[in-house]
Amino acid sequence: MNRITRQIGLISRQQQKHVRTAATAAQSTPRKTWSRSPASTTAKKIPATPAHPASAAAPVEAQPEGLEEPLPEIPVEYDFDPSLVESRPPARPQPSASAEHAPPPHLNAIPSSPSFPSESIIYSINSVPRNSYPSPQHVPTPYPVPAEQRQVDWVTSFHGMSAQPFSKEAAEALMRPLLAHEIEIKPDGLIYLPEIQYRRILNKAFGPGGWGLVPRSELTVMKNIVSREWGLVAGGRLVSVARGEQTYFDPSGVPTATEGCKSNALMRCCKDLGIASELWEPAFIRQFKATHCVEAWTEHSVSKKKQKRWRKKGNKFEYPYIESK
């Protein structure tokens, strides 16, 4: 056993000695610095021939370390001709007159080359003068609109306000006295004119399309109320500005409350035109309620709760309220 151990140790020491000798010889051998001579870097002019992958010179491999004799230098030749870069491909031939009337190819046929627009078409498009294109100012409108109205921004402008009074016919339609059957009363005793009546009066005074409401602010949505500012435009000029409001009880009711907010703003704008102005007169309110309305006790058919409610004479309370006797 000891003899085998000594032989193994002798072999390992001999291997280590050979390794150290090879490393010392490699360090003592000077390395040659590779440099390319000026003559080899000069481009060699060759006739203009199409470049081919087979004609390219093989890449020079790096000189491995540890060789005593380096490989000889190989001059590098560049197959580069500036004329090949500057030259352009020949233009695509234009179709002849007979080709224009040729029948179209079969639908299943495969085209031999991709279809690109010819240079003549591109040049013809670029050669069109810029002034020949129609501008928005020259586009005809379906109906004549004055220039001052096309430039009005109704969100911020007060164009035409108090410029001139309306015609006599329009003023009579706006300020006519209300009829008894047009006025309604709420259960709490507040009399009002339905929103549709305001629109009918405006249509009679200015005609359908002769007036409109324009929003002048963003919609303000709070906890249980929405509000927005609207402007009433009639005859191409601003007539009145008012803010409408409407309550809601559920987020899904915001769209309906937004429409109610618009109707409320219309009612307030119509006050400046004299529409239903008597509804704000205390004397008219007392007389109308005494003549055309009555206050009575009612009972809720489910909860049996009693309370006083207003109604017009000749009308009855609707379910679930029943008039007490």
Give the C-alpha separation, 126 to 62, whole Å: 55
Residue 215's alpha-carbon distances to 209, 219, 230, 235, 269, in angstroms, are 17, 9, 4, 17, 13
Q: What is the pLDDT of residue 130?
A: 47
> Comparing C-alpha atoms, which of 181, 183, 191 is closest to residue 310?
191
Q: What is the pLDDT of residue 183?
A: 95
Q: What is the pLDDT along the chain (325 residues), one digit of tens a residue?
A: 666 667 666 666 777 776 677 667 666 655 555 555 454 444 455 555 555 544 444 555 555 555 456 556 666 555 555 555 555 555 565 655 555 555 555 444 444 444 444 444 443 434 444 444 444 444 444 445 555 556 777 777 788 887 788 999 999 999 999 999 999 999 999 999 999 999 999 999 999 999 999 999 999 999 899 999 999 999 889 999 999 999 999 989 999 999 999 999 999 999 999 999 999 999 999 999 999 999 999 999 999 899 999 999 989 999 999 988 7
Number of helices and strands in the chain (H, E) = 10, 9
Residue indicated by tokens 């409320």 = 264
> Comparing C-alpha atoms, which of 234, 229, 237, 180 is closest to residue 204?
234
Which amino acid type is present at position 105?
Answer: P
Burial (Cβ within 10 Å: 0-12, 13-18, ≥19) of residue 245: middle
Both tokens of 75, joined, read: 């001059």
Cα-Cα-Cα-Cα dihedral of 309, 312, 314, 319, to 10°?
Answer: -40
Give the C-alpha separation, 20 to 36, whole Å: 35
Backbone angles phi, psi at 296, to 5 degrees: -140, 160
Q: What is the pLDDT of residue 17?
A: 73
Helices (H), ranges, the chain: 2-28, 38-41, 82-86, 97-100, 119-126, 147-150, 168-174, 195-206, 254-270, 282-292
52-56: Cβ within 8 A, 24+ apart: 55/79
Backbone angles phi, psi at 246, to 5 degrees: -160, 140
Give the C-alpha separation, 181 to 191, whole Å: 12
Peptide bond into 320 cis (omega under 30): yes
Residues 6+ apart with CB under 8 A from 261: 219, 226, 227, 228, 244, 245, 246
Q: What is the pLDDT of residue 156?
A: 79
Task: For residue 268, count other CB atoms closer than 10 A to its CB.
Answer: 17
- What is the pTM for the complete model shown? 0.52
Contact 217, 228 (CB under 8 A): yes
Q: What is the DSSP letter of 56?
A: S
Q: What is the pLDDT of residue 178?
A: 94
Residue 234's alpha-carbon distances to 31, 147, 154, in angstroms, are 99, 17, 12
Give the C-alpha separation, 274 to 205, whole Å: 12
Q: What is the pLDDT of residue 155?
A: 79
Residues 6+ apart with CB under 8 A from 201: 173, 174, 176, 270, 275
E strands of 124-274, at which residues? 184-185, 191-192, 211-215, 220-221, 225-234, 237-247
